[in-house]
C-alpha cells in the first residue's frame, strides 16, 4: 500500500501519520504538506527516520505538481487532511480557505481520478472533514447525525462543506472510491496555540489574559486527537465506500466551564493557589457569526465499525496539559515563530 496523507505536519495529520507509520510498517507512507504557518515538522521528529516514511513539501493548490506526483508514485490510497483550519482566520481571509480547502481538494480528486484511470480495485480516497458543515444547534436535544442537512455558517465551514460536496460528487459521477468523516473539535498534544485549549494553556502559564468570546456560553464537543486518528484508521480500513461517518465522544462543554476547568488543572500543576488562573479570564467581543453549539451523534461509527473513544475528557485534558508543560520549547518555538525559521534552510515557508 502506497498511502498519501496530506496535511501530515499539522495537528491532527501528525497523529495520523505517526499511527499509520508505526502500526503499518508494510505501508509506504508519504506525507504531503505545504508547511504553512500550521505545519510543523517538529511534530514528527520521533518517526521522521522511519524506513516507511517520506516527507514531501508541496502545495495542493498546485494541480500540475499533484498530477506529476500521482503519475510518478501511483498511490493506492489518499487520506486528505490538508486544510486551512481556523475559523477566525477564515473571517479575515476567506480566499485562502477557498484555495486550499476547495480548489486544493478538487485538484487532489482530479489527480487521483487521472492516476487510477477507472481501475479502482484496492483504491480509496478518504476525506477528513468537520462537524461544522452542519451549522449550529439551537435545540438542546438535537445532535448532528449523518443525515443532518448541511448548513455551514462560517467561511471555514462553507469551504469544508464545498469540499465534502465535491468528494461525494466525484464518488457519484466518476465512481471514485470515496469515504468521508465529519469529526467534532479535537484537542491534545501539538495543537496549534491559536485554538481555544492550547491558547488558554499558553496564556495561563504566562499569566496573560484568557480571551473568552462573548459570554462563554458556546458549546463544543471535544475529542482527544489520538482517538480521532484511531477512528480514521478504522474508517480507512473498514468503512463502506460512499459512506459518511460522524466522529465524536459525546463530550459537550460550554467554553467558560472548560476554561475554568483548565484554570483549576493549571493551578494545581503550577503550584498556584486555587482560583489564581481564573482571575485571568477576560470576556472579549464575540466572534462574528459564532456558532452556538456543536454536538455529534457518533452511534453509526460505534455500532457499525466498533470504534470507541479510549479516553475520558478529564484524563485527556490532564495528558494534554502535561504534554504542553513538558514541551514548553515546542510551544515557545510556535508562539515566537522560531519553528518556521528553524526549517527555513530546508524548506521555504509561505
Which residues make up the interface to ligand NAD (CB under 6 A)? 6-7, 9-13, 33-36, 38-39, 59-61, 81-85, 100, 104, 128-130, 160, 183, 185-186, 192
Contacts of 99 (CB under 8 A, 6+ apart): 61
The distance of closest approach from Cβ of residue 234 to ligand TYD in the complex, given in angstroms and rounded to an integer, is: 23
Identify which range of 13-21, 133-141, 211-219, 273-281 contacts ligand TYD by CB under 6 A. Answer: 211-219
Catalytic residue among 33, 59, 132, 164: 132
Give the separation between CA 63 and CA 124, rounded to whole angstroms.
20
- The whole-angstrom separation of Cα 138 and Cα 297 is 15
Residue of 33, 59, 84, 131 with catalytic role: 131
Q: Is 123 in the site for ligand TYD (CB under 6 A)?
A: no
Q: Does 255 engage in binding with ligand TYD (CB under 6 A)? A: yes
Residues 53, 55, 61, 67, CA torsion sign: negative
Select the span of 19-27, 173-181, 193-201, 231-239 touching ligand TYD (CB under 6 A): 193-201
CA separation, residue 48 to residues 2, 227, 241 (Å): 17, 22, 31
Cell of 277: 488562573
Minimum CB–partner distance for residue 199 and ligand TYD (Å)? 5
* Residue 221 interacting entry, from ligand TYD, ligand NAD, none, C-beta within 5 to 8 Å by type: none
Return all residues near 303 (Cβ < 8 A) that are at least 6 apart: none
Residue entry with cell 460528487: 169
Among 213, 253, 323, 347, the residue binding ligand TYD under the rule CB under 6 A is: 213
The verdict on whether 126 is a catalytic residue reads no
* 339 carries an active-site annotation: no
Binding mask 81-110 for ligand TYD (x = CB under 6 A): ------x-----------------------
> What percent helix, strand, coil does the chain show, rounded to 5?
45, 15, 35
Q: Please compute, for residue 325, the number of CA atoms within 13 A of its CA located in the half-sphere on the CB side.
A: 16
291 is catalytic: no
**Position with the least CB separation from ligand NAD:** 10
Is 137 a residue that touches ligand TYD (CB under 6 A)? no
Residue 165 and residue 102: Cα distance in Å, rounded? Answer: 10
Catalytic annotation, residues: 131-132, 156
Amino acid at each position: 500500500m502506497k498511502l498519501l496523507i496530506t496535511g501530515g505536519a499539522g495537528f491532527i495529520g501528525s497523529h495520523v501519520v505517526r499511527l499509520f507509520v508505526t502500526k503499518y510498517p508494510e505501508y509506504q507512507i508519504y506525507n504531503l504538506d505545504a508547511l504553512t504557518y500550521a505545519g510543523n515538522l517538529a511534530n514528527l521528529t520521533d518517526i521522521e527516520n522511519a524506513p516507511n516514511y517520506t516527507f514531501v513539501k508541496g502545495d495542493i493548490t498546485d494541480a500540475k505538481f499533484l498530477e506529476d506526483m500521482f503519475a510518478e508514485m501511483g498511490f493506492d490510497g489518499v487520506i486528505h487532511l490538508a486544510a486551512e483550519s481556523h475559523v477566525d482566520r477564515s473571517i479575515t481571509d476567506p480566499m485562502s480557505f477557498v484555495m486550499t480547502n476547495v480548489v486544493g481538494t478538487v485538484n487532489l480528486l482530479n489527480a487521483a481520478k487521472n492516476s487510477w484511470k477507472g481501475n479502482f480495485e484496492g483504491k480509496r480516497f478518504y476525506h477528513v472533514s468537520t462537524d461544522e458543515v452542519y451549522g449550529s444547534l439551537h435545540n438542546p436535544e438535537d445532535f448532528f447525525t449523518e443525515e443532518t442537512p448541511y448548513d455551514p455558517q462560517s467561511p471555514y465551514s462553507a469551504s469544508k462543506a464545498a469540499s465534502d460536496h465535491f468528494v461525494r460528487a466525484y464518488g457519484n459521477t466518476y465512481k471514485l472510491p470515496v469515504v468521508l468523516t465529519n469529526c467534532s473539535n479535537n484537542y491534545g498534544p501539538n495543537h496549534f496555540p491559536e485554538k481555544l485549549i492550547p491558547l488558554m494553556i499558553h496564556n495561563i502559564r504566562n499569566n496573560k489574559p484568557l480571551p473568552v468570546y462573548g459570554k462563554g456560553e458556546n458549546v463544543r464537543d471535544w475529542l482527544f486527537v489520538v482517538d480521532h486518528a484511531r477512528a480514521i484508521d478504522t474508517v480507512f480500513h473498514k468503512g463502506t465506500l460512499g459512506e459518511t461517518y460522524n466522529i465524536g465522544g459525546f463530550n459537550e462543554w460550554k467554553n467558560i466551564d472548560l476554561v475554568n476547568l483548565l484554570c483549576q488543572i493549571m493551578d494545581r500543576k503550577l503550584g498556584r493557589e486555587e482560583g489564581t488562573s481564573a482571575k485571568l479570564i477576560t470576556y472579549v467581543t464575540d466572534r462574528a457569526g459564532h456558532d452556538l453549539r456543536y454536538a455529534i451523534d457518533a452511534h453509526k461509527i460505534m455500532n457499525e465499525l466498533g470504534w470507541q473513544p479510549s479516553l475520558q475528557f478529564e484524563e485527556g485534558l490532564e495528558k494534554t496539559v502535561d504534554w504542553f508543560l513538558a514541551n514548553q520549547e515546542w510551544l515557545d518555538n510556535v508562539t515566537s515563530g522560531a519553528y518556521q525559521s528553524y526549517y527555513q534552510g530546508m524548506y521555504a515557508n509561505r
